Structures are given as C-alpha cells and as structure tokens.
Structure 1
Amino acid sequence: MAHSNKSDEKIVYVGDSRIRARTSRLPQPDFSAYPGKSEVFIPNFLLKEWMVAVVVLVGIWTLVISEPAPLGYPADPTNTQFIPMPDWYFLFLYQLLKYPYASNDFVVLGTVIVPGIMFGALALAPFLDTGKERRFYRRPIASSLMILTLIACTYLTVVSWSHYQHELESKNIIPEHIKREEEMHASKAEGGGGGAAKKPAGAPAIVAADDPGAEIYKKATCVTCHGTDLKGIPSSGIPALRGVGDEHDAASILGIIKNGQGTMEPQYDENIKKGLTDADITKLSEWLGMQKSQ
C-alpha cells in the first residue's frame, strides 16, 4: 500500500507476489480399500458427530429446564417403609444384585466381577475388534454380544421396575416425591404460595408418661414402627399414636392389636412371643386410649 500526506489521495493495495494462490483443492484420500468408509475422520466425520452431540445436549437441557427434579422428604433412617431405588440407568445392576448368585456370599461377583467384565469389554472393544468391516451383519461375534447385552440390560431394567411397582401396590405406599408434589399442589390451591409442602402441626404431648402402660409400650412391637416418641412416620403411612385416643377407645385399639388394620398385621401373637401377657396388652391398649390431643 502506498500513499502520501494528501487526505483525498486514493489508496491502492498492491498484491504480494511472494504468496502463491492455490487454484486446486487437496486430493481426497482413496477409501476403496476400506468397505463402509467414505470420508476422513477429521474434520468431516468428527464435525457431523459434534453437531449431533450438540442437538442431543440441547434436547437434554430442554428436558432438565422444563421438568423439575423430583424431591422427597429429608432422609429419615427410621423410615422402614422407604424403598430405595437407583436411577434408571442402574436398574439392571440393582436387579442383578437381587439374584442369589450375585448377592450374599457372591456379592463380589455381582458388584465387581460382572460389571468389571461388561465395562472392561466395552473399553477394550476397539482394540479387540480391529477388522476393516463396519457393517454389523458382517461382524457376527461383536454384533451378537452387543444384541445379547442390550437384551439382558433391557430385561433386568423392566423386571426391576415391575417389582418396584408391585411392592408399592402390595404395601400401599405412595413414593415420597409424588406425595410431596401433591402436598405442594394442595398448598397452592389453599393459597399457601406453594413454595414447599406445609409442615404438619405440632403433635400433642404424651399423656400419662409415667403410667405402667408406657413401660409396656417400650417392650411391645408397637415401638418398632411408631417410635418411642409415638410420632410414627406419616410420610410412609405409619400414623402417630399421639392423639390416637381421639379416634379409638381402648377396646378398639385392642381389636387393632389382635386383628390388624390396613397394612398393619396383627401384633397380638408377636407381643406374646416377646414376653408380654394378655393383661399387659390390655393395659397397653388402655394407655394408648388415653392419648388424646386435649
């Protein structure tokens, strides 16, 4: 570029003769010796894979933003009705550990050896299967192993989820995240803002804590589920016994102990086995009948 101090002077750019202009494209590699391969990996194939990955990632982000994560109640180690479940992509391993040959004395087989072989084979596949053929029907061994693994994982996942649903129905349990979401919707409908589920009102105090029936309660099977504080686990369908006298009298409570109610099985024989007498159980029902909110 050449110019002088004149402001109205026309600027003229002069090409550099040292730079050679390319007039033809680079020759494309010959892939005729590699069946099923027709383009270079970098950048052609990698660019297409990257674009597909971006589309999938945007789809996942959309689902994450549109659907909030399900949240249950704070962890409660005393909740014996809670059924722990892993994320869906680990359900097949969760189901595998239920079988006798992958649990108990063989737990190392189910937790270390079998997953190690599966994921190890997946990592070593590119080094073990080095053939030039890329069509799956021309690779019977690799394709058969892949199809067999997919069938096994799908079967274990479906069976695991079916067992979980059956267990919920048999125990009449509503999953915590569903119950909490219902409580949040109910709170919104009542004008509570819906920021979180309403906290339960304070439980009534224990009546006649020094009564002989209180000592019998500590030895009975009731304490296993309802707790020493009689608060139960409402989130799991185990009601509190504080205030139970408002709904049931001593005779009714004795009938529940002998015959059961809902998901609660009869507890009379179990208490007798623990060393309680018929008179103790009667006194226990009378003490529970005294538990009133007022």
Structure 2
Amino acid sequence: MHRGKGMKFVGDSRVPAERKPNIPKDYSEFPGKTEAFLPNFLLKEWLVGAVFLVGYLTLTVAHASPLEAPADPTNTSYIPLPDWYFLFMYQLLKYEFASGPYTVIGALVIPGIAFTALLIAPFLDTGKDRRPAKRPIATGMMLMGLVSVTFLTWESVITHDWAAAAEQGKIQETPTADIDENDPGYQVFQAQSCVNCHGDALQGVPNVGPSLIGTGLAPEEIADIAQNGVGSMPAGQFQGSDEELQQLAEFISALEPE
C-alpha cells in the first residue's frame, strides 16, 4: 500500500486519527450507580438536611437551654467550665508548667506544636502503603494526640466540682419590697453605707451581702447583727447612735417581699 492511499499518520499512537465529540454518557446505562447532580443528587442532600434540621429544632423546643445566672465579673468564686471539646485545653492550663507565669506555654506554645505537627504530618510520611504498621510516624503522632486529648478531657471531668457548679449557676429571683425612701430607717441605711453590701433596694449584692427583705428577724436580732456581725459580716460596722440603730432595725424587720 502506497503512502497517501488509505493510510493515515499521526505523531502519537495514543491520539486517535478521527476525533469524536465529547458527549457525556447516558446515565440510564448505569441504573442505580450514577445520577445527575441537578436535580436528583441535590434533592437528596436537601432532604437529609431538612430531616436533621427538623430534629435539631425539635430538641431545641423540647429541652430548654441550660441558662445560668447573669455573669458577675466581681465573683471570684465562680467555677468556669468550657464546652466539652475544649476540656483538654482547660485541664492543661491547670498544671504549673502551663499556668500562672507560664500561661503562654499552655495557651500558645503546646497547642502551636500540636497544630504544627498535624500540619506537617503529610510531608513527614510520604509512603504509598496505607497500613498503620507501615506508617510509624503518622500512626505514632495520631495515637499520641488521641491519648493526650482523651486523658486531659477525662482528668478535667473527674476533677470538676459538679455539685458546686450546679448551685452557683442557679437563677434565683431577686426579692423586692415597697420601700419608703423617706422612712428614717432607710435614711440611716444609706448614711451607714449599707448600700454597698446590700443594694440600694436592700435586694442584696451577689457574693457580697444577702438580701434584707423578709428576713423574719425581730428588731432586737437585727440590731445585734448590726453591732456584732454575723457570718462574713464583721462586727463594728454600725457607727450611728442607739436611736438610729433602733430606727434601722425596725425598718428592716418590717420589710416583706411583694
């Protein structure tokens, strides 16, 4: 056969001499295995997402959020607790080498080393074998990270005072009373700086002084407490006259919650 008569030459044997149009395959050729992204696949994704959304909203309505009392920056006895996925870092900051003057080690250095190790792990282990035994670097780093996070999370859970945390987070209604600001007893109350510990409406100040509304105490008992103290209240707080003390005691004793 002579050249040019029935023969075709191409530069690369992998390139077909006759090009065919790039027509997508008909999905009907693979029933149950392939499908069009729009609208078939996308509709399935939306359906699954809608089911999870309805379930999430149902749980939200059925179980109210565990709200606590308003945050008080002056309360140094509050026991904080982050969400469960941060418990391991919370526990890390309890150790001496990562807290106090070394907080930067627990907050930045150690997490930075862990993040860097995770970032460079693919470059340290470039082997093609996927079996864990054949990938000692990646497997060792994964196990070390998993054990560390699990241990720190467990330590944080078992060392947390759950009973005290439940009590401190309770929302308590603040008692109120109809206060006559022109009452001589209230004037004495303000003059003696009792407002600083018990509030201007005698409703109390959290972690400082209790409410003085509805104490159920007689005037004599209140006068004795004002002079001699009780609990965390030291003695000698009242500096007025006996008449002012009597007015103050009678005023507080008569207060009843609304």
What's the TM-score bracket when you normalise by the shorter of the two chains? 0.5 to 0.7
- For 1:65-92, what per-residue CA distance to the aligned partner results, in whole angstroms no more than 9, with x for missing partners? 2322625257433572644322211111
Q: In the alignment, residue 121 of structure 2 is paired with which amino acid?
A: A
Residue equivalent to 2:256: 293
Q: In the alignment, residue 145 of structure 1 is paired with which amino acid?
A: M
Match of 2:58 among 51, 55, 66: 66
Matches within 5 A, 1:57-206: 61=53, 64-68=56-60, 70-72=65-67, 75-77=70-72, 80=75, 82-164=78-160, 166=161, 168-170=162-164, 173=167, 175-176=169-170, 202-205=176-179
Bigger-Rg structure (1/2):
2
Structure 1 runs of 4+ aligned residues shifted over 6 Å read: 53-60, 255-260, 277-280
Q: Which SS does the other structure have where 2:194 is aligned?
A: helix
Residue equivalent to 1:215: 192
Matches within 5 A, 1:236-275: 240-241=211-212, 243-245=213-215, 247-250=216-219, 266-268=231-233, 271-272=234-235
Q: d(CA) in 2 for partners of 1:257 and 1:163?
A: 41
Equivalent pairs counted in the alignment come to: 207
- For 1:87-144, what per-residue CA distance to the aligned partner results, in whole angstroms no more than 9, with x for missing partners? 2111111121122211111011111111111122112211222122221233233323
- For 1:258-284, what per-residue CA distance to the aligned partner results, in whole angstroms no more than 9, with x for missing partners? 897xxxxx325xx25xxx36988x959
Q: Gapped runs of 5+ residues in structure 2?
A: 1-17, 24-44
Q: d(CA) in 2 for partners of 1:78 and 1:63?
A: 37
Q: d(CA) in 2 for partners of 1:155 and 1:56?
A: 35
1:70/1:139 CA distance change after superposition, 3 Å: same
TM-score normalised by L of structure 2 = 0.58
Q: In the alignment, residue 248 of structure 1 is paired with which amino acid?
A: L
1:250/1:96 CA distance change after superposition, 3 Å: farther
Q: Gapped runs of 5+ residues in structure 1?
A: 1-16, 23-52, 181-198, 261-265
Q: Which SS does the other structure have where 2:89 is aligned?
A: helix
Q: d(CA) in 2 for partners of 1:18 and 1:278?
A: 103
Q: d(CA) in 1 for partners of 2:101 and 2:188?
A: 47
- For 1:6-28, what per-residue CA distance to the aligned partner results, in whole angstroms no more than 9, with x for missing partners? xxxxxxxxxxx984799xxxxxx
Q: d(CA) in 2 for partners of 1:92 and 1:121?
A: 18
